[in-house]
Each structure stands twice: as C-alpha cells, then as structure tokens.
Structure 1
Amino acid sequence: MTTTLDVNGITLGIESFGADDAPLVLLAGGTTMLSWPDALCERLAAGGRRAVRYDLRDSGKSTTTDPQAPAYTLRDLAADAAALAGALGGGPAHLAGTGVGGMVAQVAVLDHPGAFSALTLAGTRAVAPGPPDDDLPGHDQATMGRLFARPMPDWADREAVAEFAAEGAKGLGDDPVAAYERAARVWDRTPGTEPEVQMANQLGMVFSRLDCTPRWREWLPAIEVPTLVVHGRRNRFFPVGNGEAIAREIPGARLLILEEAATAIPEVAVGEVAEAMLTLG
C-alpha cells in the first residue's frame, strides 16, 4: 500500500508490505523508495515483518521544495527516519539504508539510538559525498568519466530518461533491464517534469548539495544495535572497501559481500539479503 505520512514537519511517501502489527523494517530510499526491490520487501513481509520503504525529501511522493538548494541537512533526514519509525509504531525499528540512504541510516542510529533495534547498510560508505578519506576507495574514475561524459536526457521524455538509466546501469555493472523499468517507475512517481526535480529523483543529485557536517565515521564504534553490511563486489560507485571499513568499525557487524552485484541489489541476491536481514532482527 502506497500513501504519505506527515512527520517532522514534512510529508514522506511510504509503501508498506506485510501486517501492520508485525515488527517494523524501515527502508530508507537512496533517494527514492524504489531503490529497494519489490521482491526484497515482499520477502521481508513473508518472513513476518512489516517492510516500509520511503522516499527521502525531494524525491517521489515526499515533500519537494528546491532540489538545487535544499534547506535541510543530513541530520534532518536522519531525524525524519526516527520520526517515521515512531509514527509507524510497534517499538524500535530495524532501519535499512541503501546508497545515500545508508548515510542517513548511519547518522539516524547514532543520533536517535532509542528509535532503532537493528541496522542494515547496503552499498554505502561512512563519509559524506565528496572526496573519501585516504584509506577509503573513491569512485572508479574511468567509470565516472564515461558516465558523466554522456549528454543528459530530455527529462520531460519518459522513454529517454529510462534509456539513459539503462545505459548508465551497463556502465556501473548493474542490470540495464531492471534499471530501465525502475527509472520509468520513478519518472511516473515524480511530481512534475521540471528538469531539476526529475534529475533529483533519477540521480539523487540533491544529496551532493546537503550539509553533511559534522563527520560521523569516528562515532561508528558507538553503534550498539546488531548490524548487517551488504556490499556488491563489483560496485564501482562505492567500491567494496567502503563496506568493509564500515563492517570493521561497527562492533559485531556482519559483512555480506554479493560477489556478482554492483550498486543495486540484483534479483538473484534478494533471497540471500532478505534471509540475512530477517536473521538480524
């Protein structure tokens, strides 16, 4: 069921799978909720959880203001996650974040520890957008060069946007068919065809403009909830060393490396990831 919920002074688009009274797994989009595969949400629900995926601000059905100049911070997004978990009820939630949503999730658990009972971090890193720490691998520069050399599509043209996403997925090592379908769905859910709004939804570029201070990596050892770190071996955007570093620095964290995956969780890995998340809590 897709709807919206007003929390923390804004509106968030959410979609719920499973019984309303089941233990909550809250899935932060990266940036839209469709970053989390339908099949994974369905597996979590079949495992006795209420899986709720949601759009970050300036994406999907959530509050959209000015993606070119967001008037909120990473810590505001973290507060959104805590407020949403509280509004959905049922006690502390298992919080999961993918990509930039994984950054939100790390800060949310650090800033609001009482709101969460477990943490899953998929394809993310422990520092904000921009140059990584010296000991962390940065984006694969050859891949980034090819991706950003492409001309932008006509953001008002659904087919052109979906084809652009499929081509980008090939460059990143992801499934172009799945990327095409997801981009078309994202386009359909985007409020308007203004280029900056469509770009924010498709590429998450708004995140690069956020104030992400202060740093949080040094505080990862303070995380006390059970943690699962999922990372694709072939991830060229956030290379696997980023996930390995997070798993080392959060006490007791389990590292699940998906050997055939890149940035997205592929269909073939959904069962493995869901099982690991269900085991976590």
Structure 2
Amino acid sequence: MQRTEKTVFRGTTDLATQSFGDPDRPVILMMMGATASMLWWPDELCELLAASGRHVIRYDNRDTGRSATGAPGEVSYTLDDLADDAIAILDGYGVERAHLVGMSLGAMIAQLVALKAPLRVASLTAISSSRFDEDDPNLPEMDPALLEHFATMDALDWNDRQAVVDFHVETFRISAGPKASFDAERARRLAEREYDRAIDPRSAMNHAMLAGGERYRGRLGEIRAPLLVLHGRHDPILSFAHGVRLAEAVPSSRIVELEEAGHELNIRDWERIVGEIIAHTAARG
C-alpha cells in the first residue's frame, strides 16, 4: 500500500499529514477527535478504505502528534482555526473536493468545514459525535466513571511515560463502553506510540479549552453535503442521543447504530464502518 508523509503549512502553522493509496482516487480526509493524533485512525482501517479505491489522508490536529504544538494550558486557536487547517490540508494536496470523515471533535470540525466551504465537501461522515453547537442540558451527560478518571489527571506526572500510558489505557477501557470486548494490549500499543511521537503529550489536553464557531451556530440546516452518522449505542462520552440530534439537524442524513459500540473504533466494528463509508462515498464521486 502506497503511503506518503507530508507537512502542510498554513501560514506559520505546520500540520503533519499522511496519505494512503492512489492520489488520483476520490479523497477521504480523516479528522480525529479531541486530544488524539492521527494514530487513532488505525493503519489497517485506513488501508482498507484506500484499497476500496479512495485516497485516504489523515493528519494531526494542532497540539497533537507532530503538528504545531503550544505550551500546555495555552490555547491560541479556535474551532474555526481547526476547520481552516483542514481546508489548508486539502489545498496542500491540491484537492478541490473531498469526503470528510470525522471522529468525535473531528466530526464537529467537519461540520464547520461544510458550512465555511460547502463546495469543498462531497460528503460527511460523523462517528461518535454531536452537533458542534449543541448545549442542550437535557442530553445525557458523560459517564461518571470517566469524569472520576479524568479528575485524577491533576496528579498525573506527564514526564512518567508508564503513568501516562496507563492513564490513557484506562481512558480507552471506559470509553469502549460496557458491551465492548476491550483489547488492552492493542490500547497499550497505541498509547505508547502516541506518547513517543508527540512533541508534548500534555499539550493535547489544550483541546478541553477550545471555543469558537459562534458565527455558524444554529446553521446546520444549511449543510447540503449528505451526512452519514455512525454512533455506538453504548457511547459513554457522547450518548447515542447526540448522534440522533446531529442527524436530525442536517437535511440529507442517515444514522447507523453500532449496536455494541462505545466511543472508539473497535476492531469488531471495522467491517461495518468501512462498508458504510465506502457506500456513502461511492454514491458521490
């Protein structure tokens, strides 16, 4: 499988990217969620999509992986900037129009891209996500077990690789939901790669302070790109109701329930996820 690494610059901001497959094929831009680098899109999943006749591009959001990284606790960018970063990556690859596949925060960024630059978006796929402008207090809150786990972060020594890896593995375990067959060894390998590759592992937590997108709040009904929502029934971070609400807000949308999934890309669901994305993107070039 052809794989290429490339750094794209938006002004002075450098964005680390990697592509899979034939660049002459329709492009899928993979947009990962909060605190997570491109590694959270598994290599094998990207290769499956590329093998279907797509050019797959994944990248590190700011403050993750090898992309521009600021000091922990200091955020100099907004959700709008992250959307503009995605557009800059399309420019950097010479891509006029792409299919956007986002996970969690990545799908919220994709919503902004579809509103800011509608002619650049062939389709949207949102995995384990929500409306970027959603603040309905009636929606279910995050699993208390995750909130308790995140509270331990204050005492975490970010220079202790083992401690940080253990913290992330436990995050993965809870995020997988109660019905998942959790693969602890796979999760540990990912956490280790993530820690070793990051410019500053702690800076990824800056995403918790993100704001922006105010100009586009309440305008999801303007999105014309068809939307596929893939959402786990047992998502402990963004409940299934969040996915339903997102699908209801976008005119041309379809929601697919992942019956046993939580808030992760469980290998058990890859065949379903890849099949749905291939079908969704095939109908639109």
* TM-score (normalizing by structure 1): 0.89
Work out the CA distance in 2 between the residues paired with 1:58 and 1:243: 26
Residue 113 of structure 2 aligns with which residue? 108
Work out the CA distance in 1 between the residues paired with 2:11 and 2:153: 38
Q: Does structure 1 residue 187 correspond to structure 2 residue 192?
A: no
Structure 2: give runs of 5+ residues left out of the alignment: none
1:218 alignment partner, SS class: coil
Aligned positions of 1:182-221 closer than 5 A: 182-191=190-199, 197-201=200-204, 205-214=205-214, 216-221=216-221
Work out the CA distance in 1 between the residues paired with 2:38 and 2:143: 25
CA deviation vs aligned residue, 1:93-141 (integer Å, no higher than 9, x gap): 001111211211111111111111111111111146xx93134222123
Work out the CA distance in 2 between the residues paired with 1:177 and 1:17: 25
2:163 alignment partner, SS class: helix
Work out the CA distance in 1 between the residues paired with 2:28 and 2:11: 19
Cα distance change on mapping 1:208 and 1:164 into 2, 3 Å: closer
Cα distance change on mapping 1:236 and 1:121 into 2, 3 Å: same
Q: Does structure 1 residue 154 correspond to structure 2 residue 157?
A: yes
2:100 alignment partner, SS class: strand
Q: Does structure 1 residue 164 correspond to structure 2 residue 180?
A: no
Please state how far the C-alpha of 1:147 moved relative to its aligned partner: 4.1
State the Cα RMSD in Å.
2.0
Structure 1 letter corresponding to 2:270: V
Please state how far the C-alpha of 1:90 moved relative to its aligned partner: 3.8
Query: Which moved further from structure 2: 206-215 or 222-231?
Result: 206-215
2:88 alignment partner, one of 83, 89, 102:
83
Work out the CA distance in 2 between the residues paired with 1:5 and 1:150: 32
Structure 2 letter corresponding to 1:223: I
Say if 1:140 and 1:239, in contact at 8 Å, map to a contact too.
Answer: no
1:108 alignment partner, SS class: helix
1:52 alignment partner, SS class: strand
Residue 53 of structure 1 aligns with which residue? 58
Residue 194 of structure 1 aligns with which residue? none
Query: Which moved further from structure 2: 177-186 or 71-80?
Result: 177-186
Work out the CA distance in 2 between the residues paired with 1:146 and 1:5: 35
Name the % identity: 34
Query: Which moved further from structure 2: 3-12 or 249-258?
Result: 3-12
Please state how far the C-alpha of 1:169 moved relative to its aligned partner: 2.1
Please state how far the C-alpha of 1:79 moved relative to its aligned partner: 0.8
Work out the CA distance in 2 between the residues paired with 1:230 and 1:89: 28
2:23 alignment partner, one of 20, 35, 38:
20
Structure 2 letter corresponding to 1:259: E
Work out the CA distance in 2 between the residues paired with 1:217 and 1:61: 31
Please state how far the C-alpha of 1:16 moved relative to its aligned partner: 0.8
Aligned positions of 1:225-264 closer than 5 A: 225-264=225-264
Structure 2 letter corresponding to 1:189: R
Please state how far the C-alpha of 1:271 moved relative to its aligned partner: 1.5
Say if 1:35 and 1:98, in contact at 8 Å, map to a contact too.
Answer: no
2:214 alignment partner, SS class: coil
Please state how far the C-alpha of 1:171 moved relative to its aligned partner: 2.4
Residue 43 of structure 1 aligns with which residue? 48
Please state how far the C-alpha of 1:246 moved relative to its aligned partner: 0.5
Work out the CA distance in 1 between the residues paired with 2:149 and 2:160: 22
Cα distance change on mapping 1:215 and 1:241 into 2, 3 Å: farther
Work out the CA distance in 1 between the residues paired with 2:84 and 2:152: 36
Say if 1:95 and 1:116, in contact at 8 Å, map to a contact too.
Answer: yes
* TM-score (normalizing by structure 2): 0.88
Q: Does structure 1 residue 270 correspond to structure 2 residue 270?
A: yes
Structure 1: give runs of 5+ residues left out of the alignment: 192-196
Structure 1 letter corresponding to 2:22: A
Query: Which moved further from structure 2: 258-267 or 86-95?
Result: 86-95
2:123 alignment partner, SS class: strand
